[in-house]
Structure 1
Amino acid sequence: MKAISFFVSFLTVSGLYAQEPLVTSAHLLTATVFSQGAELNHAASFNLPAGSQEILLNGIANTLDENSIQIGGPAGFTILSVRPVRNYLQIENKSPEYKRVADSLAKANQALEEIRNLQSANESILALLAKNQLIGGDHGTTVIELSKMADYYYNKHISIKNTLSSLALQKARQEQQVARLKKQLEEFNTDQQGTGGQLLLQVMNSKAGPINLSVSYLTGAASWSAYYDLRAENAASPLQIIYKANLQQSTGIPWNKVKLTLSTSNPSQNGTAPLLNPWVLRFAEDYSNRLDEVVVVQNRIQGVKVESNLPQRKTAALPAPSTLNDHSTLTENQLSATFDIDIPYDIASNGKPHSVALKEYTQPARFKYYAAPKIDGDAFLMAEVTDYEKLNLVPGEANIIFENMFVGKSFLNPYATTDTLNLSLGRDKMISIKRERVTEQTSTQSIGSSKKQVFTYEIRVRNNKKQAIQLLLKDQYPLSSDKAIEVELLEDSQASKNSETGVLTWQLDIPPGQTKTLRISYSVKYPKNRNIDQLF
């Protein structure tokens, strides 16, 4: 009797743990995307019986940080273990466009295979005809029979050859169609494995009923970078800065109607300040001067969610009169800034950048022109922006639109150490600059054991615009790194001179249609038996 009881108990326990897991999906609600990585927040609802149960959650990112997984449930619901798994059979994460192109590719491959089969069959018949050209055997044949056989072979040979030519053309066209569909499929599918992620939960439920779960975790398969549109109607108008983000994700799951938050922080970056260890010198050892950094476990997402004792404040930047600012909220924290986007976005899991509009600002700017004709013969329009730290900008590429025309690209770097942010708005061809050597005032003469060379350059700047311009012009003269080389600046046209760098600077005010002429001259004296590189 005891043996029977034990056997029944064994079957009961075995059946308990051998049961199929409950399969359900976790719906993605919000995503907080960092400069590297993202925090995804899901919700799942299902009915669960009392007792122990395995739950398989679909719709999870295919790469995640296991230590960052957080799951919340009702009272009486206990999570015993959590384990991420990969589903290599599930194709639900594929978009309808992907499935449509995949079906078309399968049909195109089938049609191509049928054409190849027809080609093979006709080539076999042609080979069969070639091997059976002996007519009549040992008994010979009549002229009529020979004529009939010749007509048959001729017509059959021509028919097969024409069929093969037609099939070759069909095959080439079909191969082009297959190649196009494959290329289109690659556009939809950057995730080559095509796999979605899952979470396998072992839980204990105290009573049967509906369960609502919240699931969050950190994934490294998403990021965003800033880019800008810099607009100015003219040199007298304020500068409009349109702040945008290029967001990309390859988590294996589509983000459909997801509430986005973009953060300038990077939780995967080590946030521990470096410490200096004693630097000890020893003989016969090669030690370099270095900062020894204490290595710690990377910051978890909990560290981002903890409320700081430091007060939060709204940015004081000047918004432009545009509806874009009505759909996003900028919050400035002590160490980062976050953009809460009110409009839900659809972001495909293809690793390609998707544009997300963040903010628009209108900033007072001082416009001026800059030129260094020794390096580049064009004048560049520059915008000087102050109080830019209030805008919470991050480095990024910028499209330059001036006077309603796209004039080029630049790079915005707000991490400068100066109080003024200098933005290059592109070249202005209406300002003509020429830098030429004055031949009659350039000479070479020998003085004893030395050689002395004199170089003279003339710079002409013409303002072809209808309004006056301010131009910051820079040039330079050489500096000596050897006592045997003597450099003397002979003429600088009243430039501001930096003796340490050799840079000459002029602040020019040029009326419309006028030309300014500047001249620089310098001499270089050095031993005549020596040569100097890059002397001009």
Structure 2
Amino acid sequence: MADDTVHQLRYSISALTARSVTIYPTRAAVVRDIADVAIKPGRTEITINNLTPLADEHSIKVEGHGMSAGAVVTDMTVDSVANRMMGEDSEDSEDSEDGESEESEDEDALRPPELKAVIAELKALRSTREELQNRLRSAGERLGYLRRNMQYCAENVPAMPELEGYKSQDEALYKEMKGVREEIEKVDKQINAVVKKEARLQRAFDRQRRKPRRERELKKALKRDKREEKREQKLQLPSRVYRIKITVENGVLPAETKTVTAVAEMGRSRKPEDDEMPVRELPYLRISYITGGASWTPHYDLRLDSTKQQGTLTYRAHYTNRTGETWKDAKITLSTSQNTFSGLEDKVPWMAAWNVTLQSASSREVRDDGGLLSPAEVKLRKELHAVTQSSMPQETVNVVKDTYRPRYSYNPASPSYSPVAATNTAPEALRDALRAKKKRVSTATTTSSSSYRAAAEPSSDDERRLTRFNSAHRERERASPPSPPPPPSDGPSSRFPLAELAKLQVATSSAESHGMTTIYDLPGVRTITSSKLIRRHIITDVTLPTVEFSHLAVPKLRSSVFLKARVINPKAGGVTFLHGKAGLTLDGSFMGNTSIPLCVPGDHFDVGLGVDESIQVHYSKPSKKSSSQGMIMMKENVVNYCRSIRIHNARQGPVKIFVLDQVPVSDDERLRISLLQPRGLRDEGDQVAVAPAKSKLGTAQMRKNGEILWELRMDNGGDLDLPLEYEARMPQGSAIVVK
């Protein structure tokens, strides 16, 4: 090489505009342009400083446009260096404090000329008085010295000097002091007059400047608040950052050198406009990299209407920039590539298989109930027993022990009959017990820490959620007279143009699908600073024309009826719902937060809406009857088990209810279990029509693991009974045990 000169070009990331930023769920692809990059003949070293330390150094790529034909990238290095921008924050704060002091000095310059003259006059009078005070003190000291000298001479000098000289000096000093005192009195009167005049002028000036002063003080307070807010939101600058060095050689390498085109990654499918120059007719360099510290998550607002069987879903994106960099004038794109994620907390209980077998009646494994209760019921009773054994009042213990007391006494003729009166089934009794425990803890402990209270006291969120649905529906179903028409008025349209009365609009995004990835382009360009803030953007609003509401009860495990909504994602919209959190509103009442699973167009997802208190379910106590059948040598025991499920519906209009129960499944060929009610169910998949009450039709289906599913339709409220009866046949001397 004839010339070893290396041309240097230096840039800082903070000074570069961001052409585009594609945000993934846990990171972002950033593309930046460096305009007017002059690649001279020979070797040029381009240094880019202050790249975020969260960037993946192996993802950094460069490309160039408008370069000379002989420019070739021959080397690129990435190293970690100290951040030189660490001290800028403190300098900014010092500058702001200096600005405040300058504002306070400007207050003196705003005084009127008359007030300034009075202040100057008062200052001159006080200076004159100070000089007179000095003259008076000097004359007094000289007079005192003269008199002490005369006394000394009278006591110690035999021949007294002439006294006329002392007398004349004494009189002169006395007259001088007297004159000075008179001048001081005159100056004091002038000072008092000027002080009063100054106070009067200052009050007038204060009245005149009170409003501007308040405005300035308010501006200062706002500036302080903004600085404090910025300080809280701003992330701590990293101590070390990346530095990129790119070596470009122009006209140096041999002509036969093999090369490939340098291409930067856009983080998405490339578009024709990606090759447009940021500045026309100028060469520019493009750098791309993947960085952490950026993310976006889907969030939804789901609004359901149970009367119209419809809904609306607002699809929002929450995105953040915590990379330590500012994306200036960037085109923001959200991508679903590599999406990774994590309801209403009151979930429907689910039954496990109830498998039984035979043991000798004298075996220790045989329970007292003789196989009457499923494992889930036994577990529930043990949990309730553990609660009752804790330190609770005796009346609470008695309530919990009565686990399966009916929810209501079914006697419509009785004047005290109330189908929605809450009594003490297992979950409600347990909840009442926890309330009593919470009250006792709060009265016995007065100085507990917040962490202890959080651990000792049960949360009331579930209690509010359980009652919110019932109260909302009672308000809707309560008969109310129609609202009177509003009084006639001119209305706002007579005072404002129609254009001014238009509703505020919200910008949404456009969507494109590329294979298994969907990208959402946010409109326009925007500058996103690095901070702790979460920014929100509405992607789209989706109308849900079909929402199916149904109820599900598993009375064996909980005497409550759960409301469920099946939301169908319309094919026409073509929007795929990603797994994310959702705020749920039902019939205008906010229910709480739930989650939405991945759902493609044409598919559906279910949303649990908690317990519907307007529908009550009662699971009667089990009963059994034993008998013996067969010949003497081949006798067998026959045990008949009976249970009944009673449902009371206080809602108006048609209601679809699913009820789930089960019978045990034998794992021993000597134990034969047959279902008697509902009739006709024997094998898995069997389905029969049932009519539990007049004008109330439905079906019963046998499912796997002995589960029985009733699908019922109730119109305009009422009650119905679902009998469940099965028998077990076994050799004499045997007993049923749960595996």
Say yes or no: does 1:22 pair with 2:10: yes
What displacement does 1:257 show? Answer: 5.0
Taking the aligned partners of 2:45 and 2:729, their CA distance within structure 1 comes to 87
Structure 2 counterpart of 1:69, one-letter code? K
Task: Spell out the pairing of 1:167-316 with structure 2 (5 A cutoff).
Answer: 188-189=234-235, 193=238, 195-204=240-249, 211-256=283-328, 258-266=330-338
Structure 1 counterpart of 2:578, one-letter code? V
Taking the aligned partners of 2:617 and 2:655, their CA distance within structure 1 comes to 17
Say yes or no: does 1:477 pair with 2:663: yes
Say yes or no: does 1:438 pair with 2:621: yes
1:301 equivalent in structure 2? none
Partner of 1:252, secondary structure, is: coil
- Alignment equivalent of 2:32, drawn from 39, 42, 46: 42
Structure 1 counterpart of 2:582, one-letter code? A
Count of matched residue pairs:
387
Structure 2 counterpart of 1:468, one-letter code? P
1:89 equivalent in structure 2? 83
Moved more, 252-261 or 355-364: 252-261
Taking the aligned partners of 1:526 and 1:72, their CA distance within structure 2 comes to 86
Partner of 1:394, secondary structure, is: coil
Taking the aligned partners of 2:535 and 2:729, their CA distance within structure 1 comes to 60
What displacement does 1:201 show? Answer: 1.6
Q: Sort the Cα spacing of 1:21 and 1:345 in 2 relative to 1 into closer, same or farther, 3 A.
A: closer
1:532 equivalent in structure 2? 737
Structure 1 unpaired stretches of 5+: 1-8, 105-180, 269-320
Q: Deviations over 1:8-42 (max 9, x none)?
A: x9xx84xx45x866233332232112344432111
Say yes or no: does 1:508 pair with 2:720: no
Q: Sort the Cα spacing of 1:239 and 1:233 in 2 relative to 1 into closer, same or farther, 3 A.
A: same
Taking the aligned partners of 1:91 and 1:445, their CA distance within structure 2 comes to 91
RMSD (Å) for aligned C-alpha atoms: 4.4
What displacement does 1:262 show? Answer: 1.5
Q: Sort the Cα spacing of 1:454 and 1:228 in 2 relative to 1 into closer, same or farther, 3 A.
A: farther
What displacement does 1:220 show? Answer: 4.6
Q: Deviations over 1:31-67 (max 9, x none)?
A: 1123444321112235546242322224534322525
Say yes or no: does 1:370 pair with 2:551: yes
What displacement does 1:69 show? Answer: 1.5
What displacement does 1:514 show? Answer: 2.0
Taking the aligned partners of 1:483 and 1:97, their CA distance within structure 2 comes to 84
1:31 equivalent in structure 2? 21
Taking the aligned partners of 2:575 and 2:612, their CA distance within structure 1 comes to 31
What displacement does 1:182 show? Answer: 13
2:56 equivalent in structure 1? 64
Partner of 1:245, secondary structure, is: strand
- Alignment equivalent of 1:486, drawn from 653, 658, 672: 672
The structure in which a higher percent of residues are strand is: 1
Q: Sort the Cα spacing of 1:52 and 1:409 in 2 relative to 1 into closer, same or farther, 3 A.
A: same
Taking the aligned partners of 1:185 and 1:450, their CA distance within structure 2 comes to 83
What displacement does 1:211 show? Answer: 4.5
What displacement does 1:214 show? Answer: 1.9
Partner of 2:58, secondary structure, is: strand
2:517 equivalent in structure 1? 336
Task: Spell out the pairing of 1:103-114 with structure 2 (5 A cutoff).
Answer: none
2:650 equivalent in structure 1? 464
Structure 1 counterpart of 2:20, one-letter code? T
Q: Sort the Cα spacing of 1:485 and 1:338 in 2 relative to 1 into closer, same or farther, 3 A.
A: farther
Taking the aligned partners of 1:201 and 1:476, their CA distance within structure 2 comes to 72
1:141 equivalent in structure 2? none
Q: Does the CA-based 8 Å contact 2:327-2:529 persist in structure 1? A: yes
1:312 equivalent in structure 2? none
Partner of 2:574, secondary structure, is: helix
Q: Deviations over 1:364-418 (max 9, x none)?
A: 11322131323442321312415459322222222211112221333322358x9
What displacement does 1:215 show? Answer: 1.8
Q: Does the CA-based 8 Å contact 2:64-2:283 persist in structure 1? A: no
- Alignment equivalent of 1:402, drawn from 570, 586, 591: 586
When normalised by structure 1's length, the TM-score is 0.60
Structure 2 unpaired stretches of 5+: 98-226, 253-280, 341-502, 680-689, 691-698
What displacement does 1:329 show? Answer: 0.6
2:65 equivalent in structure 1? 73
Taking the aligned partners of 1:338 and 1:531, their CA distance within structure 2 comes to 60
Partner of 1:66, secondary structure, is: helix
Q: Sort the Cα spacing of 1:99 and 1:255 in 2 relative to 1 into closer, same or farther, 3 A.
A: farther
Taking the aligned partners of 1:451 and 1:220, their CA distance within structure 2 comes to 70
Q: Which has the larger radius of gyration?
A: 2
What displacement does 1:328 show? Answer: 0.8
Q: Deviations over 1:183-213 (max 9, x none)?
A: 9978643x78454444222223579x96522
Q: Sort the Cα spacing of 1:431 and 1:520 in 2 relative to 1 into closer, same or farther, 3 A.
A: farther
Taking the aligned partners of 1:93 and 1:206, their CA distance within structure 2 comes to 42
1:53 equivalent in structure 2? 44
Q: Sort the Cα spacing of 1:52 and 1:449 in 2 relative to 1 into closer, same or farther, 3 A.
A: farther
2:346 equivalent in structure 1? none
Taking the aligned partners of 1:488 and 1:93, their CA distance within structure 2 comes to 83
Partner of 1:327, secondary structure, is: coil
Q: Does the CA-based 8 Å contact 1:386-1:420 persist in structure 2? A: yes
Structure 2 counterpart of 1:509, one-letter code? R
Q: Sort the Cα spacing of 1:72 and 1:485 in 2 relative to 1 into closer, same or farther, 3 A.
A: farther
What displacement does 1:361 show? Answer: 0.6
Q: Sort the Cα spacing of 1:362 and 1:212 in 2 relative to 1 into closer, same or farther, 3 A.
A: same
Taking the aligned partners of 1:474 and 1:259, their CA distance within structure 2 comes to 53
Taking the aligned partners of 1:451 and 1:434, their CA distance within structure 2 comes to 33
User: Percentage identity across aligned positions?
Assistant: 16
Structure 1 counterpart of 2:738, one-letter code? D
Taking the aligned partners of 2:9 and 2:67, their CA distance within structure 1 comes to 21
Taking the aligned partners of 2:233 and 2:246, their CA distance within structure 1 comes to 34
Taking the aligned partners of 2:282 and 2:82, their CA distance within structure 1 comes to 29
Higher relative contact order (CA 8 A, sep 6+): 2
The structure in which a higher percent of residues are helix is: 2
Structure 1 counterpart of 2:519, one-letter code? T
Moved more, 45-54 or 27-36: 45-54
Q: Does the CA-based 8 Å contact 2:234-2:532 persist in structure 1? A: no
Q: Does the CA-based 8 Å contact 1:194-1:252 persist in structure 2? A: no
What displacement does 1:216 show? Answer: 1.9
Q: Deviations over 1:92-138 (max 9, x none)?
A: 799x799869x99xxxxxxxxxxxxxxxxxxxxxxxxxxxxxxxxxx
Taking the aligned partners of 2:49 and 2:639, their CA distance within structure 1 comes to 79
Task: Spell out the pairing of 1:388-399 with structure 2 (5 A cutoff).
Answer: 390-399=574-583
What displacement does 1:342 show? Answer: 0.5
Q: Does the CA-based 8 Å contact 2:569-2:602 persist in structure 1? A: yes
Q: Does the CA-based 8 Å contact 2:569-2:599 persist in structure 1? A: no
When normalised by structure 2's length, the TM-score is 0.45
Q: Sort the Cα spacing of 1:508 and 1:40 in 2 relative to 1 into closer, same or farther, 3 A.
A: same
Partner of 1:251, secondary structure, is: coil
Taking the aligned partners of 1:436 and 1:413, their CA distance within structure 2 comes to 33
Moved more, 330-339 or 484-493: 484-493
